[in-house]
Structure 1
Amino acid sequence: MLVGTVMRKIKSRTWKKQRYFKLQDDCMTIWYKSKKAGNTHSTFSVGDVEAIREGHQSEVLLSIADEFPADRCFTLVFRGRRGNLDLVAESAEEAQSWIRGMKKLIENLENMGEREKLDQWIGDWFKKADKNNDGRMNFKEVQDLLKMMNVDMNEHHAHRLFTMADKSQSGTLEDDEFVLFYKMLTQREDVLRVFQEYSVDGQKLSQSDLEDFLREEQLEGGDIEQHTKQLIECYEPSETAKLLNAMTFDGFLMYLGSTEGSIFNPQRRGVFQDMSQPLCHYFISSSHNTYLMEDQLRGQSSIEGYIRALSRGCRCVEVDCWDGANGEPIVYHGHTFTSKILFKDVVNTVGNYAFKVSEYPVILSIENHCSVEQQRVMAQHLNHILGNKLLKSTLDGKAPIGLPSPEVSRADCCPDFTSLMCNSVAPRYMHQKTALDCPEKCDKELKASTWSLDFPDPNWTESKQRLSKELSDYVVYCKSVHFSSFKHSRIHSKFYEVASFTESKARKHLREAGPEFVHHNSRQLTRVYPSGFRTDSSNFNPQEMWNTGCQIVALNFQTAGEGMDLNDGLFSQNGNCGYVLKPSFMTEAEKGFDPETPQKHDHYQPVVLTIQVISGQQLPKVNIKEDSIVDPLVRVEIHGVPMDQAKQETRYIENNGFNPVWYDTLRFTIHTPELAMVRFVVEDYDKTSKNDFVGQFTLPLSCMQQGYRHIHLLSKDGTSIPPSSLFVHIRITELE
């Protein structure tokens, strides 16, 4: 990689051009150029690459599979919404060198400590500012750097820091001198104040000092003494301090910037919930129009949509199927100009990626518009491609009496009936009593009236109903049905029946019969999807649907914004497995929870959330103009039951996106903390127009750590933007 390699960059079956790729000496940057483009070249950081896919694992590489073998092909997948880079090496050996090399470099990055990550970040800025590439920076270059880093600093003050850092008195800063300059620039007075409050001698935190801090400020329980020793061992850079069982200011800063010092409780990151309850007791991460990468009128359909959704922990994906050429069903947004992909390619992709992030079951929500003949082809593809990954009968082979749990139907528990479940939706113009009633063949009371081999109803024919038995037979636990009323459902519905609502219909039900909706969702699965009028693939706020216990709240994963921030926030807990257990008052039918009047339920215990927004660190620029500086403010949003919906803002800080300081306190009363989500949003204040988005972080209130915490901000796409963060103090107390 350091020597360099010529590879083909592939954009389509007809666009295949040679590029020279080379790993830079920093082992962090890939440089590439065209032989014909003279001095023109491009670079990307290894840190920008999320994954490497080997072989023909993109539409582009699939399209040239007959020309280039799989062992020479690979795809670099970038973070966020940047397009993938599809490459073909000259040989299988060269492809493997790059694949293994990139994987190793990414692994090294992920294993970096906090100090190494910071050093890397500082080094990146140094390279950007060193315009003449001489390994030194003069004062003019430093001034330009400060603007690039979102700092509007007085020239006299900047020059004073520059002179102090220039130990060699050369009039320039070299590597070590620049690090010193950066440390002076980023002196954390806010953290120093906390450090000195708990340090007896003002120089270090003894083991006793640190124990007091963890107990009194961070409100941590358990074995504090042991935890203190672990923190010193893990984050203290000074061996001398370690021998004294003490923590210096540098170690304290490293701890507060770490995962353990973040606002998200690390104990809630892994799978910690009871996974043995019926599927209807969980919120399920769900995607709408999963095949789309853009809007719903002219956007691109791609298997990439399924890969990205499944890679984010999504457990319910949608497949809109239509008759295609040559007897092959296709997937696209019907009656629009969206592009088309093959159904079999979608099934292949789901089979490959369903269980890479989560081992828990995936539901295929199939909207079926195909002829009977092509439905049979669909069934063949499902069976041949997925094999025993597809659930084809009840888990125990007996008549089902209830929905299975995520635990018993997870991939590694069910070698015979693994976890892909079909939920096949009949075309909208069809009568609802169709072959999709097949789960009733397992119900002894209805067995004779629905399926037997000779179809006892002489008027029923496959061609009349336009549904194939082969496809219908794969619908076991998630049968789509028409919804009449909550009363009708309470009397007649079977546990395996799923009702689907548009967002507007769901809103109507939750307004008119909230408690009944909650009761319904304690025993039935409900799917809610965006309105057909959202042609731009925008999203509704999923919180109002979660408030009534709707499990399958399907969102357009390809569209960034508040809806996906909340979805990512909710499912970032519990191992990102795509299943989050609902509160007990939503799963026990007799509780009678009403989201409009939460104070009436038995276990009502409101809390007061107090957030002191202290400071911000290295906020990203939002304007590409070099001389523009962010005027940041922080908005805290509470999303929950209607009584809890609230927003408050700090004041804005003028011309400082590098180290703004607020010390502003925001207070919220939260009546249903079990359902509350907290969203932190940083914006660039503008007097004359809408504020620009800078960064955000969203998490469940139940996952929030108290005390002094850093919030590591995410971009609009939900990807990390280190080292951008907020420093806050959190308190959660019972309402008196």
Structure 2
Amino acid sequence: SAGSLQELLHVDIKVLMAGSTLRKVKSRSWKKQRHFRLLEDGLTIWYKSRWAGKGHSTFSVTELEMVREGHQSEVLLSIAEEFPAALCFTLVFHGRQGNLDLVAESPEEAQAWIQGVRKLIHRAQTMDEKERLDQWVWDWFQKADKNKDGKMNFKEVRKLLKMMNIEMNEEHAFHLFTMADKSGTGSLEIEQFVHFYKILTQRDEVWKVFQDYSGDGEKLMLEELDNFLRIEQQTGERSAQHAQELIERYEPSETGAMTLDGFQMYLCSQDGSIFKPEHQGLYQDMSQPLSHYFISSSHNTYLLEDQLRGHSSLEAYIKALKRGCRCVEVDSWDGNDGEPVVYHGHTLTSKILFRDIMSTLKEYAFKASDFPVILSLENHCGVEQQTVMAQHLRQILGDTLLTTLVDGQVPLQLPSPQVKIYAVGTDSFSLLLVYIPTFILYLCACRLNAHLLIASGHLIPTNSSKEKEKCGAENCPMASFALFSPLLQKSKSKLSRELSDLVVYCKSVHFHGFEHSRLHAKCYEMSSFSESKAKKLAKESGRDFVQYNTRQLSRIYPSGFRTDSSNYNPQDMWSVGCQIVALNFQTAGLEMDLNDGLFRQNNCCGYVLKPEFMTDGNAQFSPEKPDERQGYRPLRLSIQVISGQQLPKVNQKEGSIVDPLVRVEIYGVPQDQAKDETSHINNNGFNPVWNETLNFVITTPELALVRFVVEDYDKASRNDFIGQFTLPFKCIQAGYRHIHLLSRDGTAIPPSSLFVNISISELS
């Protein structure tokens, strides 16, 4: 680790290690000087106030996602007149953690930090498994070496074991210590500490699997590794070639075979992960109508916190879009100076400008995914500021905003996520196929007051013959939009024609029932349902709801009573084929774990193709009666939970050690909802071993999600969350696999993992 850092020691890194005084900025009025420097491990950034005595803070480069240069945050924009862009930069953290806005004393110092931190982030992101492990061991050595003499005595080692979440018999610990202390000095230097760590982390459960396939107990020859991959990992015909690739990738020795070290490294790598590698990239057919996809969707996207007093922020849109969100919500209200503002109306949430959100969308909408973004616009503005909104939409989004039908024809079905626009090349006059990532504007019904939501068609205030003449086609969808509802007419609300004209494929209509929709609805008509209404329809008319969603888009939103921005279970809505299941992305927990889990596949593009029985208009699938569908084939899922590795501490008190248990939860159609858990292991978060098997029957594998949760058992109160990982059942790889755990926030917590053996079979 130290050696690889030496390679990086170029001028920028040297500036970081020497340290700089930077202004930490939280608001226009809060700008305070802090001394920042990179510690010797090359991974930890330390900072403190020059006047704060011994108090200091640290964070790891691994927590950082990127560095933004200049005034690229709301806070830095607010002080742009005071500090030029050349002095400013923003450190962006993974997950929901707030950004760090900084101002340097000179442009040269700012550039040194910008370029230096970018190099460190790149290094952290491109480390292989061995480098990550070396770095992790180095970090522990640094933490344990309290007096910074480059050595560690037994007293420091005992403290280290507590820090590493392991309770160990003192006599046994001292025995391991003396085995590692080759020089007999009563202390360990870094190389000896690495040896101590290897003794400490010897994994009998991996050694036993290795022994089952190794002829001499020392190594796996190519044929032996091939046998393991075919029999245990079920890799099929390509196992021989795959075995050779794995030896080349993970085996540290040059023997042409795989030793125990290489075998363990393979099992802990992405190749040994539970997630099928072929499902990580873009593997689904993206040419079907939009109604055939689940679409990652956000509710109240502008909020970072709760919807009563929370902070509205452009950062919330950036974070949602970077997570692959493809439907964002904008609640617009009249602003004081003629500029529409966005916030949660009639509450104490802060306000942001509508135009700034459009600029943010223009910049970030297509960085994580090339596929369409649906803008769900909840309009509370008067006609004048609606026109301003329309101008911003057109001027800021420009060509990326879809304002006409894709092929000029009245659609019989919705366009696909691969929205195509044809153009004639001016040089060759040949027909060119040009793909332009496109926004689709969905205009939601307006709110008459704080309590009454009208969900009715109101996009064109007339469908008179004159309007049809203007439109130029008797059956054009733009000429057949519904009149205002009676309630809306009573309120004498008016819609700006400029804004209404931007709605092309997602016309908001009131839901009159499944039979009415079957007979009269158009594919471009879309209804919004509250979570309670959708849940009721799913329970009472699941088959009809599935059919409805083969043709049209439906959007589900959380109850207005969720003032804390909590979420409902999205699986209930996905099980009837609802596409736009909107969640509060700012709120961590089970519901967002499920959303992240479903959309983790297909290159995290925000679109997941529904199973065929939910897209075929003739299929008769009911989530309440899964056994009645054609092709019904339930599967048995057997999970042997073998062990855990380096689980994070929940309670940071020095003597606190976790008592971990593993729970597996299945989410899918009602019949598949299930959970089971292991017993808990006392005082061992470092290398707990369970060797317990949990069994499940999955009736509808295509819709099932599997969530692995690790908790700290507490007999007196509720268990504490340690980590989780959620993925679609169809993305699970059988065999001996590691599950790399995520924090409550959905970010990685390496090297924390579970080691499992998974078997999937048909019910006999």
State the TM-score, normalized to the length of structure 1: 0.95
Give the secondary structure class of the aligned counterpart of 1:591: coil
Give the Cα–Cα distance (whole angstroms) in 2 for the partners of residues 374 and 541 of structure 1.
Answer: 36
Which residue of the partner structure matches residue 350 of structure 1?
Answer: 361
Matches within 5 A, 1:91-110: 91-110=106-125
Determine which of 40, 43, 57 is the counterpart of 1:25: 40
Q: Does 1:728 align with 2:756?
A: yes
Residue of structure 2 in register with 1:315 after alignment: 326
Q: Hey, what does 2:646 align to over in structure 1?
A: 618
Q: Do the aligned residues in 2 keep the contact of 1:462 with 1:469 (CA within 8 Å)?
A: no
AA aligned opposite 1:15 = W
Alignment of 1:46-125 (within 5 A): 46-125=61-140
Q: Paired residue for 1:484, among 512, 524, 538?
A: 512
Partner of 1:604: 632
One-letter amino acid matched to 1:427: C
CA offsets per residue over residues 571-590 of structure 1, 9 Å max, x none? 00000000000000000011
CA contact (8 A) 1:12 1:60 kept: yes
Deviates more, 1:156-165 or 1:421-430: 421-430
Residue 348 of structure 1, CA deviation:
1.1
Q: Is 1:196 matched up with 2:211?
A: yes
What pairs with 1:68-467 in structure 2 (closer than 5 Å)? 68-239=83-254, 241-242=255-256, 246-408=257-419, 418-429=437-448, 432-436=456-460, 444-447=473-476, 450=479, 464-467=492-495
**What is the CA distance between 1:5 and its match in structure 2?**
2.6
Q: Would the aligned equivalents of 2:413 and 2:551 in 1 still touch at CA under 8 Å? A: no
Give the secondary-structure state (helix, strand or coil) at the position aligned to 1:326. Answer: coil
Q: 1:255: Cα distance to partner?
A: 0.5
Further displaced range: 554-563 or 387-396: 387-396
Distance 1:497 1:399 in 2: 13
- Distance verdict in 2 for CA 1:391–1:728, change over 3 Å: same
Quote the offset at 1:449 in angstroms.
9.0
Cα RMSD for the two superposed structures: 2.3
For residues 624-663 of structure 1, the aligned pairs below 5 Å read 624-663=652-691
Deviation at 1:277, TM superposition (A): 0.3
Q: Is the 8 A contact 1:320 1:367 kept in 2?
A: yes
What is the CA deviation profile of residues 195-244 of structure 1, one whole-angstrom value per residue up to 9, with x for unaligned ones?
Answer: 000001111000110000000000002322211110100000001x22xx
Write the distance in 2 (CA, Å) between the matches of 1:464 and 1:554. Answer: 30
Deviation at 1:41, TM superposition (A): 3.0
Code of the aligned partner of 1:553? V
8 Å contact kept, 1:6–1:20: yes
Relative to structure 1, the CA distance from residue 235 to residue 438 in structure 2 (aligned partners, 3 Å threshold; closer, same or farther) is farther
Q: Paired residue for 1:549?
A: 577
Instruction: Select between 647-656 and 94-103 the one with higher mean Cα deviation.
Output: 94-103
Deviates more, 1:216-225 or 1:648-657: 216-225
Displacement of 1:97 in angstroms is: 2.4
Please identify, of 407-416 and 548-557, the stretch whose mean Cα deviation from structure 2 is larger. 407-416
Query: Residue in 1 aligned with 2:11?
Result: none
Residues 619, 657 of structure 1: 8 Å contact kept? yes
Q: Deviations over 1:562-606 (max 9, x none)?
A: 100000000000000000000000000111100000000001000
Take 2:704 and 2:633, find their aligned partners in 1: how far apart are those partners? 13
Q: Once the two structures are superposed, what CA deviation does each residue of 1:252-280 show, in whole Å capped at 9, x if it has no partner?
A: 00100010100001111000000000000
Counterpart-to-counterpart distance in 1, 2:493 and 2:171: 82
Is contact 1:376-1:471 (8 Å) kept?
yes
**SS at 1:590's partner residue?**
coil
Alignment match of 1:582 (pick from 598, 604, 610): 610
SS at match of 2:551: coil
Contact 2:334 2:340 in 1 (8 A): yes
- Tell me whether 112-121 or 62-71 shows the greater mean CA deviation: 62-71
Q: Give 1:105 deviation, angstroms.
A: 1.1
Displacement of 1:416 in angstroms is 8.2
- Aligned AA for 1:154? N
TM-aligned CA deviation for residue 46 of structure 1: 1.0
- C-alpha separation between the residues in 2 aligned to 1:652 and 1:617? 15
- In 2: Cα distance, 1:231 partner to 1:410 partner: 44
1:42 to 44, 57, 70: 57
SS at match of 1:260: helix
- Which amino acid in 1 is paired with 2:730? S
What letter matches 1:702 in structure 2? Answer: K
Q: 2: CA distance between counterparts of 1:151 and 1:451? A: 69
Aligned residue in 1 for 2:736: 708
Partner amino acid, structure 1, of 2:553: L
Note the alpha carbon deviations across 1:83-116, whole angstroms, 9 max, x for none: 2100122333332322222111111111111011
Query: What is the distance in 2 between the residues matched to 1:140 and 1:603?
Result: 64
Name the aligned partner's letter for residue 447 of structure 2.
Answer: R
Q: Deviations over 1:531-557 (max 9, x none)?
A: 111111111110010000000000011
CA distance in 2, matches of 1:197, 1:596: 44
Residue identity opposite 1:362 in structure 2: V
Alpha-carbon deviation of 1:428? Answer: 3.1
Moved more, 108-117 or 386-395: 386-395
1:594 aligns to what?
622
Moved more, 42-51 or 499-508: 42-51
Looking at structure 1, the residues matched to 154 and 477 of structure 2 have their Cα atoms a distance apart, in angstroms, of 87
Corresponding letter in the other structure for 1:321: S
Contact 1:311/1:356 (8 A) holds in 2: yes
Q: CA deviation at 1:444?
A: 3.8
* Amino acid across the alignment from 1:484: H
Task: Tell me, yes or no, if the aligned pair for 1:614 and 1:661 is still in contact at 8 Å.
Answer: yes
Report if aligned partners of 1:263, 1:704 keep a CA contact under 8 Å in 2: yes
TM-superposition CA deviations, 1:1-21 (whole Å, max 9, x none): 233333221110011122232
Per the TM alignment, residue 683 of structure 1 is displaced from its structure 2 partner at its CA by: 0.5
User: Retained in 2: the 8 A contact 1:391–1:418?
Assistant: no
The one-letter code of the counterpart of 1:349 is T
Aligned partner (choices 537, 545, 553) of residue 525 of structure 1: 553
- Aligned 8 A contact 1:301 1:339 in 2: yes
Count residues with an aligned counterpart. Answer: 726
Asked if the contact 2:723–2:744 (Cα under 8 Å) also holds between the matched residues in 1, the reply is: yes
Distance in 1 between the 2:683 and 2:39 partners? 35
Alpha-carbon distance in 1 for matches of 2:364, 2:189? 47
- Alpha-carbon displacement from aligned partner over 1:90-145 (angstroms, at most 9, x marks no partner): 33333232222211111111111101101101111111111111111111111111
Secondary structure at the aligned position of 2:188 is classed as: coil
Of 128-137 and 443-452, deviating more is 443-452
* Alignment of 1:664 onto 2:688: no
1:572 corresponds in structure 2 to 600
Displacement of 1:411: 14
SS in 2 for 1:483: coil
Q: What's the CA shift for 1:507?
A: 0.6
Change over 3 Å in CA distance of 1:443–1:229 after alignment to 2:
farther
Contact 1:608 1:669 in 2 (8 A): yes
Q: Counterpart of 2:6?
A: none
Asked if residue 677 in structure 1 is aligned to residue 705 in structure 2, the reply is yes
1:731 and 1:410 map into 2 onto residues whose CA distance is 46
The 3-state SS of whatever aligns with 1:200 is coil
- Over 3 Å counting, the alpha-carbon distance change for 1:436 and 1:185 in structure 2 is farther
User: Which ranges of structure 1 fall in alignment gaps of 5 or more residues?
Assistant: none
Q: CA deviation at 1:447?
A: 4.3
